[in-house]
Homo-oligomer: A and B are copies of this chain.
C-alpha cells in the first residue's frame, strides 16, 4: 500500500482533481528526501558528521583558501546564519575547522578548514560517492531528468546566489 497513492485517491474522491497530482508529487519529493537523507546520514554518522556539517566542510574544501566568512557560507548553503554558527561550533570542537579573524573587516569571522577537516571530508565524500551518489536509486536518464526539472524549478524559485567573491 502506497500512502501517497492513497492520499491521491482521497483527494480525487473529494473532487480536488486540479490539486491531486501536484499534491502527490510534492509529497513524493518530501518522502524521497527523507529516504535519501537517512541513507546519507547513515554513511556520515561513523565520521561524526551530519549532512549539514558535511556540506559546510565540502564547501570550504573547494575554496581556494580553505576559508570563508560565515555569512558567505550561510548564503552558499542556503541555511540560516544561526545554523552555520551551530555547525561551526561542533566542527570546531571536533578540530575540523577553526574560526579566524577577517584581515580587513572586524565584524566578520572566517571559518577555516583544518588538515583534519580536509582528511575527514575527503574520506566521507569517497564513501558517500560509493554508497549513495553513484547509485542513488535512479537510472541515468532519470538522474538527468531530475537534474533538469529540479534545476529549472530551483532557478524559478530564486534559489541561485548572486556572483560575488571575497575572502
A24 at interface, CB cutoff 8 A = yes
Give the number of residues in A that approach B within 8 Å (Cβ atoms).
65
Majority secondary structure of chain A interface residues (helix, strand, loop or mixed): helix
- Interface on A for B, CB 8 Å cutoff? 1-5, 7, 10, 16, 18-26, 28-37, 40, 51, 58, 62, 76-78, 125, 128-130, 132-138, 140, 142-147, 149-151, 153-157, 159-163
A-B contact pairs, 23 of them (CB 8 A): A1-B161, A22-B133, A24-B143, A24-B147, A25-B146, A26-B136, A28-B146, A28-B147, A28-B150, A28-B154, A29-B29, A29-B32, A29-B33, A29-B146, A29-B150, A30-B33, A30-B36, A31-B78, A31-B159, A34-B78, A35-B153, A35-B159, A138-B149
